[in-house]
Structure 1
Amino acid sequence: MNQPHTAQDDGVRQRQQQIAANLRALILSGDLRPGDRVPSTSDLVAEYGVTDKTVQRALAILKAERFVEGQKGRGVFVTTQVPTVVRASHYPVTSSEEPYAWIADNASRGRAGSIVLLHVGEVPAPAQVAAAFDLEIGTPVTVRHQLLSLDGEPVELVWSYYPSNVARGTRLAEARKIRGGTPAVLSELGYPPHHAIDQVSARLATVEEFIALRLPQDMPVLRQLRVVFTDDDRPIEVTVMVKAGQHFEVRYALPKPE
């Protein structure tokens, strides 16, 4: 007599999406580790009460995301790809020895980082940027828009905004990468970054983000809104970072109680 399947059906998503979501959660939590064999097709068929084809579609989703890989004659195994852990409180520091902090930071983890500058210029301030700078929505601000890649794969889109009266005529407004990063320029201009406040949210990608990050499916992205402050708590930089959800985890360090 066949055992009834035990896995719940959320009644909204297709069954292969649900199976992929459950396996993805086990991988990201470390319950399925790199090198582990995922449950067999027959086990997943029995657990979810679906067909072989549905299970194969679920595994295809995870293969496209590079969480698992098939090994001929052996089964499907978790890959060595693990999300990059980023500290929510981290802000790149200026270094004359390391001209591009993001690249150097990832090189220390054995990852090859690269940066492509997509656009530099003045744009109407989006709502959250205007609010941070205490400007009217639509007031011109300077933006630096970049695409970051790890090991040749796009992983993050970045928009960094500056008040135009600060950025105009400086390296912040030049369409080229900045050695030492924008913190170095801000310090040179008399606005040394002191601290920052982050807001992190998750949502589905826009069309632009989906294409630029080459997302394999309707994968959520992490959106990090950072406001950087200089002397007298003056906001001097607002950065929006959109990270491919399958590549990152955000770590928060809470202060010890006094």
Structure 2
Amino acid sequence: MAANRTPGDAADPRPVHERIATDLRRAILSGDLPAGEPIPSTEKLKERFRASSASIQKAVTMLKGEGLLEGRAGSSVRVLAVRRQTMTPAAYSKPAEDGQPYRWLSEAEKKGRRPGIQLLQVGEVEPPADVREALGLEAKQTAVLRKQLLSLSGEPCELVHSYYPLELASGTALADKVKIKGGTPTLLASLGYPPLHTVDQVTAEEATNEEYEALRLPRQVAILRTFRVVLSTDDAVIEVTTMAKAGHLYSLQYDF
């Protein structure tokens, strides 16, 4: 039987430069290192982290690759004006009003962001096991997939896989490779399946190859993965969606 251990028993196994980058990243994103200001000098960082100059430079290079720092060797390295953008799912999960665009688009525009949606794939597929379970499907059963890449101001921000029961989606615009005016919540409501209850499970995970390439991620950051189940009348599951965002650039806000 393993002996009882306290958190202090285990040393951080990560390479020194990754630990330095993690601490600096947190300070940048929280605002403790303000935009436009230089980061602490190499000597101060060496003393603070008991690290070599090479480790400090590797950490700085990582954060430059993430778009958090700028500067050249021999000059001060400064913090870029980058903060996590907050996404508020409750603001765009409801059907749009008559004649209005998908709420995700209109909410982004309200905040001065230029939104875009690229429809990558639509078709009948066998979903992953967790999606099948949520939809109540057996192994080998299929659903309709709508895969999209969302962008803000020309930069990819979210890779979305949305799955719909065949009996609901077949013969509707959900099964066609066309953008849906007002978004899928509006279409579902028009089909008699209004989205009434949404359950989100959010986890921090390493990116898959697909997510890494689609979101243009730097190597060392995690993604925020949202697993969403949307229910309608009589708690019928009408949609299961997975969404992936860069963890260092986005946060999710829920009001209780």
Normalising by structure 2, we get a TM-score of 0.89
Q: Which runs of 5+ in 2 are unaligned?
A: 1-9
Structure 1 residue 85, shift from structure 2 partner: 1.0
Secondary structure at the residue paired with 1:226? strand
RMSD between superposed Cα atoms in Å: 1.9
Secondary structure at the residue paired with 2:77? strand
Q: Which runs of 5+ in 1 are unaligned?
A: 1-8
Structure 1 residue 73, shift from structure 2 partner: 7.4
Whether 2:163 is the aligned partner of 1:143: answer no
For residues 74 and 233 of structure 1, what CA distance do their matches in structure 2 show? 60
For residues 53 and 65 of structure 1, what CA distance do their matches in structure 2 show? 19
Question: 1:114 corresponds to which residue?
Answer: 116
Paired residues of 1:148 and 1:154 also in contact (CA < 8 A) = yes
For residues 88 and 105 of structure 2, what CA distance do their matches in structure 1 show? 16
Bigger Cα displacement from structure 2, 77-86 vs 66-75 = 66-75
Structure 1 residues 30, 93: CA separation in 2 closer, same or farther (over 3 Å shift)?
farther
Structure 1 residue 107, shift from structure 2 partner: 1.5
1:16-74: per-residue Cα shift (whole Å, max 9, x none)? 11110010111222222323321112211222232323212111111111112227876
1:201-257: per-residue Cα shift (whole Å, max 9, x none)? 011011111111111113110110111111112111111101111221122323xxx
Q: Give me the identity figure in percent.
A: 43
Choose which of 151, 175, 178 in structure 2 pairs with 1:176.
178
Question: 2:17 corresponds to which residue?
Answer: 16
Structure 1 residue 10, shift from structure 2 partner: 4.5
Whether 2:168 is the aligned partner of 1:160: answer no
Report the residue type matching 1:214 in the other structure: R
Normalising by structure 1, we get a TM-score of 0.88
Whether 2:244 is the aligned partner of 1:248: answer no
Paired residues of 1:126 and 1:138 also in contact (CA < 8 A) = no
Paired residues of 1:132 and 1:227 also in contact (CA < 8 A) = yes
Bigger Cα displacement from structure 2, 124-133 vs 141-150 = 124-133
Whether 2:44 is the aligned partner of 1:31: answer no
Where do residues 127-142 of structure 1 align in structure 2 (5 Å cutoff)?
Answer: 127-142=129-144
For residues 68 and 112 of structure 1, what CA distance do their matches in structure 2 show? 24
Paired residues of 1:86 and 1:250 also in contact (CA < 8 A) = yes
Structure 1 runs (4+) greater than 6 angstroms displaced: none
The alignment of Structure 1 onto Structure 2 pairs a total of residues equal to: 246
For residues 64 and 104 of structure 1, what CA distance do their matches in structure 2 show? 31
For residues 67 and 213 of structure 1, what CA distance do their matches in structure 2 show? 16
Report the residue type matching 1:206 in the other structure: T
Paired residues of 2:29 and 2:82 also in contact (CA < 8 A) = no
Paired residues of 2:90 and 2:254 also in contact (CA < 8 A) = yes
Structure 1 residues 26, 101: CA separation in 2 closer, same or farther (over 3 Å shift)?
same
Paired residues of 1:204 and 1:220 also in contact (CA < 8 A) = yes
Secondary structure at the residue paired with 1:61? helix
Secondary structure at the residue paired with 2:168? helix
